[in-house]
């Protein structure tokens, strides 16, 4: 047996949960990702999706993807740098720049590769990169790839951030990177305070809008727009894998920074461009989001209803201010058990355990879409209430 096989024979963590019948991952979906899905032979209410605008099954998005498939074929067979740039990619980049309100954007094949590629290149030796300690894994990986000195501060703790900034040379390039909406807990970055610190300590700021596009700001432009701070934020990152009903991501910034990234970003240059179908789907979703502001209105109505109902029923839901609702369990085994019992009762939710959260903060994560109804939410509340009470997590 080889070295690696010998080592990974000992990797038995998942088997423990499979044996106990509570392993919650890699379930197979056999339908579209709507508010109800077919999954592992069950018909379940989908409260684990990031498709906040509810556009993944939209006929117009599907038609745009099909038309692009017919016109351009199934793949681009090369990097944007060489043979992989379609007029569709360029159109999407231009429309996104107008939408986000920055000079230019660059589109990548995933949001993960945006953070990984941009952070690796945008700061370097002698610079500093400062992250919230709950930033997304793609930000963590990106900063690890950069040659900048890596620092972080306690989640949303502005005093701690200021302490870090105070200790750094005023003239040095310093980039603060934050999730606009934190993906597991649903709380927001304190952007006004972060921007004030940017000015006080001579820094730059990058915001990851993965969970805020299509949700916050005018026509879903995100958290920077919501706070009126788009001009103050240097780099804005977004993904197409959530509200934009597709796959891919982008970085938006001033023309000079984008020109630099276009010619240096390794995950942009040394990776094939996004497929025609995925690009066309994101473009169509961008159009619909702007044409139908009532979608976002509906998302917020159902979110407000759910926040109210979970609080009323005594769930611990932390500081969320978004369609992501964490239901705290504070125990890994019980978190898996809640997920399993909910699934069997017809509700799909995501378990969140370390490293996606602190060990003591395990939770199940509910996420809402514009297409959810209050009746569906109410059914979810009732089912989850019974499970949480039966397991002694909350009182009846």
208 binds ligand PMP (CB under 6 A): yes
Among 142, 186, 220, 249, binds ligand PMP (CB under 6 A): 249
Identity of the residue, 208 or 234, whose beta carbon is nearer to ligand PMP in the bound complex: 208
- The least distance separating ligand PMP from the CB of residue 262, rounded to whole angstroms, comes to 19
Q: What token pair was written down for 346?
A: 């017809």
Identity of the residue, 210 or 224, whose beta carbon is nearer to ligand PMP in the bound complex: 210
Q: What token pair was written down for 333?
A: 């085994």
What is the full DSSP assignment across 120-187? Answer: HHHS-TT-EEEEETT--HHHHHHHHHSSSEEEEESTT-HHHHHHHHHTS-TTS-EEEEEESB-TTT-P
**Binding positions for ligand PMP, 215-244, rule CB under 6 A:** 239, 241
Distance CA 390, CA 393 (A): 8
Sign of CA dihedral 67, 69, 72, 76: positive
The 10 Å CB-count burial string (b at 16+, else e) for 3-13 is: eeeeeeeeeee
Distance CA 303, CA 316 (A): 16
Backbone phi, psi, residue 98, to 5°: -65, -45
Closest CA relative to residue 148, chosen from 167, 180, 112, 176: 176
**Which residues are CB-contacts of 351 (< 8 A; sequence separation ≥ 6)?**
24, 335, 336, 338, 339, 362, 363, 364, 365
Q: Report whether 158 contacts 185 (CB < 8 A).
A: no
Instruction: Determine the residue with CB nearest ligand PMP.
Output: 111
- The least distance separating ligand PMP from the CB of residue 365, rounded to whole angstroms, comes to 11
- The least distance separating ligand PMP from the CB of residue 19, rounded to whole angstroms, comes to 29
- The least distance separating ligand PMP from the CB of residue 52, rounded to whole angstroms, comes to 12
**Binding positions for ligand PMP, 105-144, rule CB under 6 A:** 110-112, 115, 136, 138
Identity of the residue, 243 or 376, whose beta carbon is nearer to ligand PMP in the bound complex: 243
Q: What character string, x for contact with ligand PMP (CB under 6 A) and - otherwise, covers 170-199?
A: ---------x---x----------------
Distance CA 289, CA 52 (A): 11
Of the listed pieces 79-87, 207-215, 262-270, 340-348, which binds ligand PMP according to CB under 6 A?
Answer: 207-215
H/E run at residue 349: none
Identity of the residue, 112 or 268, whose beta carbon is nearer to ligand PMP in the bound complex: 112
257 binds ligand PMP (CB under 6 A): no
Closest CA relative to residue 289, chosen from 245, 248, 229, 323: 245
- The least distance separating ligand PMP from the CB of residue 382, rounded to whole angstroms, comes to 29
Q: What token pair was written down for 180?
A: 């606009």
Identity of the residue, 185 or 208, whose beta carbon is nearer to ligand PMP in the bound complex: 208
Q: How many residues belong to the site for ligand PMP (CB under 6 A)? A: 14
Identity of the residue, 136 or 372, whose beta carbon is nearer to ligand PMP in the bound complex: 136
- The least distance separating ligand PMP from the CB of residue 248, rounded to whole angstroms, comes to 7
Identity of the residue, 241 or 303, whose beta carbon is nearer to ligand PMP in the bound complex: 241
Cis peptide before 355 (omega within 30 of 0): yes
- The least distance separating ligand PMP from the CB of residue 66, rounded to whole angstroms, comes to 22
Residue 308: exposure state from Cβ atoms within 10 A (0-12, 13-18, ≥19): exposed
Identity of the residue, 58 or 135, whose beta carbon is nearer to ligand PMP in the bound complex: 135
What's the Cα-to-Cα distance from 298 to each of 63, 294, 303, 374, rounded to whole Å? Answer: 24, 6, 8, 10
Q: What character string, x for contact with ligand PMP (CB under 6 A) and - otherwise, covers 71-110?
A: ---------------------------------------x
Identity of the residue, 223 or 393, whose beta carbon is nearer to ligand PMP in the bound complex: 223
Among 123, 210, 307, 317, binds ligand PMP (CB under 6 A): 210
Identity of the residue, 115 or 273, whose beta carbon is nearer to ligand PMP in the bound complex: 115
Which residues make up the interface to ligand PMP (CB under 6 A)? 110-112, 115, 136, 138, 179, 183, 208, 210-211, 239, 241, 249
């Amino acid at each position: 047996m080889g070295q690696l096989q010998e080592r990974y024979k000992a990797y038995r963590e998942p088997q423990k949960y499979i044996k106990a019948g509570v392993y919650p991952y890699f379930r197979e979906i056999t339908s579209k990702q709507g508010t109800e899905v077919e999954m592992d032979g069950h018909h379940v209410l989908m409260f684990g999706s990031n498709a906040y605008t509810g556009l993944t099954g939209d006929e117009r998005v599907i038609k745009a993807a099909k038309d692009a498939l017919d016109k351009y074929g199934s793949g681009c067979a090369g990097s944007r740098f060489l043979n992989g740039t379609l007029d569709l990619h360029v159109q999407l980049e231009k429309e996104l720049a107008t939408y986000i309100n920055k000079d230019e954007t660059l589109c990548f094949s995933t949001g993960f590769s945006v953070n990984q590629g941009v952070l690796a290149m945008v700061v370097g030796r002698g610079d500093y990169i400062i992250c919230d300690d709950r930033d997304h894994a793609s930000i963590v990986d990106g900063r690890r790839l950069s040659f900048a000195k890596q620092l972080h501060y306690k989640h949303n703790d502005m005093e701690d951030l200021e302490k870090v900034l105070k200790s750094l040379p005023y003239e040095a390039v310093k980039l603060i990177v934050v999730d606009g909406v934190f993906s597991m807990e649903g709380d927001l970055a304190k952007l006004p305070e972060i921007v004030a610190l940017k000015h006080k300590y001579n820094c730059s700021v990058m915001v990851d809008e993965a969970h805020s596009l299509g949700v916050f700001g005018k026509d879903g432009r995100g958290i920077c727009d919501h706070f009126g701070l788009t001009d103050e934020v240097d780099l804005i990152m977004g993904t197409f894998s959530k509200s934009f009903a597709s796959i891919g991501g982008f970085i938006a910034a001033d023309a000079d920074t984008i020109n630099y990234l276009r010619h240096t970003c390794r995950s942009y240059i040394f990776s094939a461009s996004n497929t025609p179908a995925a690009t066309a789907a994101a473009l169509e979703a961008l159009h619909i989001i702007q044409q139908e502001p009532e979608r976002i209105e509906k998302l917020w109505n159902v979110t407000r209803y759910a926040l109210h109902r979970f609080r009323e029923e005594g769930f611990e839901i932390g500081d969320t201010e978004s369609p992501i609702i964490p239901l705290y369990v504070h125990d890994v085994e019980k978190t898996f058990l809640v997920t399993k019992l909910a699934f069997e009762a017809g509700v799909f939710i995501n378990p969140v355990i370390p490293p996606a959260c602190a060990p003591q903060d395990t939770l199940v994560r509910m996420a809402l879409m514009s297409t959810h109804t209050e009746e569906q939410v109410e059914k979810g509340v009732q089912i989850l209430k019974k499970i949480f009470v039966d397991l002694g997590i909350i009182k009846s």
